Chains A and B, each alone.
Chain A
Amino acid sequence: MADEAVRVRGLRKRYAGGVEALRGLDLCVQTAQVYGVVGPDGAGKTTLMKVLAGVVSFQAEEARVLGRPVPEGLSEVRHHIGYLPQRFSLYGDLTVEENLDFYAALYPPDPEGRRTKQELLEMIGLDPFRDRMAADLSGGMKQKLALLCNLVHRPSLLLMDEPTVGVDPVSRREFWTLVFELQRGGLTVLASTPYMDEAEQFDRVALLSEGRLLREGTPEEIRASVPGVVLELGCEQPFQAARCLEGTQGIQDVQLFGDRLHLFAAQDAPGLRQALEERLGQAGLRIQRLRVVPFSIEDVFLRLTA
């Protein structure tokens, strides 16, 4: 199927030590989607990327990338794929420009299909740093350069394993702004991330846990996929308040969200708000704000995995 950039069915992976990283995964990424994979540590996110990049063995009923079966058909499409693993190797003792030259040399020459160095450097504001050694770049700039190295050959599919870890909020925005621009040019992206605010912006999200799919869909569908309500509670001492509210009747879970609490409940039952007020009041804590808020993907993640 030309419209499917990635298709796996019944994907399994057992490592030599016996660890079962993937336990029967079905997943489909359409062309020109930005598709996110999220999940707790050990959920199988990295293994999934490695399978699709053709670097680990696996079992599956079906596994296709850009229409070709993995791994035997990968060689035909490898030059259309970019793969940014968690620790992408830049050459620290080469400059920004030399790193781009190096990665360009890895792919078959295709003068028309190539992006020029200038074009790449200007894409994300690395032009002023072209002569700087990669080792001397900040964490955010290193990840931007790693991305550029994977764009030289104008891939149609980009696999990225937690590309923005360690990247500051401003650089993170710039990184994703570029990715979404490339998407409008037809690029398909499969990316894992520990940042749930990033997942909110993807076209579709797969929530993995222990090698299985817990949820899959658009962010709207994921947000609507758990029953109950979230009450957002603002107060002076959220940490103490969280302790105090654990075990309150009608409250299934209490989670800190920045300077406020998210309380998960089956429903916004009559009397619940008063019960919360009384319980906190006994501990000398006062509610500043209490309201029902929509579920976020982070709420869903916490409800299903914590």
Chain B
Amino acid sequence: MSDLVVDVRDLTRRFGSFVAVDRVSFQIPRGTIFGFLGPNGAGKSTTIRMLLGILPVSEGEGRVLGFDIRTSSEEIRARVGYMSQRFSLYEDLTVLENLHFFGGVFGLSGARLDQKVRDLVEMTRLEGFEQQLAQGLPGGIRQRLALAASLLHDPEIVFLDEPTGAVDPALRRYFWERIAELSASGRTVMVTSHYMDEVERCHDICFIHHGRILAQGSPGLLKSRHLPGEMWQVRTPVRAEVAAHLSRVPGVSGAFPSGEMVRYLLDPGFDPAAPAAALSASGLTCSAPEPAEPTLEDVFVALSRKRGAS
């Protein structure tokens, strides 16, 4: 088998006249943590559902683990893990019963299933919750259960669609350690997230907007190539006011409070002294502007605005 776990060319999906995914091509080598980013409605989940063979392809082609996504959805689904945004648990079953049920769906049974469930309960820190009904479990615990359920059959690739959505900061780190471990053990992970800090840990990132890929590469490459200008920041106690004021300065975009700072993008060719002068003329209390290190969130915001925010 080739070392490309996912290989799609010109993948397209239409709903009536609406093109949800528009000639998308990418490859994911084995062991990669592949981040799939984009605004809400960009086509991320639609693409993942096509890769799983759940949703028919309108045009283009693709292979997952060597299987054709148009004709071999059963073979694919038996070999991949999938954690969706809204994981369907059986509310009237306990945590353990849910895991045993999903294990059975994947053809596991007996001692092997018991062992696997024990391992995953430990890995996803579900100890203490085993006998609780899924009904009423806090959001983060449900997410952990969903992650465990997606790994029961030792999949070679897992598709994680916003696995850390409602998860607290400590647990988000824990999730990403598990993702790194999966990758280190040769498993491939395709993940979507709206937390731009955690996706810094992806090996490769694909940014999709209005169904099209706008940028692809490592986090470092995205920050160096896809930010149309320079990031600057000022320290101020009146962040909302300073951000609003900066937004009216020519050449400044995306001014937004971040911690004790306001960060903004200065378009190429504009004088960094202009925002500073505008601020000092405003009478608002703030420090002199200083260059800031770009983040993936800066790249995300810039790329989202490139073709009009959704």
Where the two chains meet, the residues of A that have a C-beta atom closer than 8 Å to any C-beta of B are: 15, 17, 38-42, 46, 86, 137-141, 162, 165-174, 180, 194-197, 200-201, 238-239, 255-259, 294, 296, 298, 301-302, 305-306
Contact = CB atoms under 8 A, between A and B. Distances in A.
Contacts of A138: 39-41, 310
Given A39-B168, A239-B201, A170 B305 contact: yes
Contact of A41 (B139, B297, B305, B310): B139
A141 B140 contact: no
B165 A166 contact: yes
A170 B300 contact: yes
Contacts of A165: 165-166
B283 interface: no
Contacts of A171: 39-40, 309-310
A259 B219 contact: yes
Given A138-B310, A180-B240, A239-B180, A172 B194 contact: yes
Nearest to B174: A306
| Most A CB within 10 A of own CB, among B38, B176, B180 | B180
| Most A CB within 10 A of own CB, among B138, B141, B176, B219 | B138
B259 A258 contact: no
Interface in B6-41: 38-41
Nearest to B247: A177
A137 B310 CA distance: 10
B196 interface: yes
Contacts of B195: 195
Interface in B159-176: 162, 165-173, 176
A165 B196 CA distance: 13
Given A42-B138, A256-B176, A168 B169 contact: no
Given A41-B138, A201-B239, A194 B169 contact: yes
A218 B246 CA distance: 25
A305 B174 CA distance: 13
Contacts of B304: 168-170
Contact of A139 (B40, B138, B219): B40
Interface string B191-223: 000111110110000000000000000010000
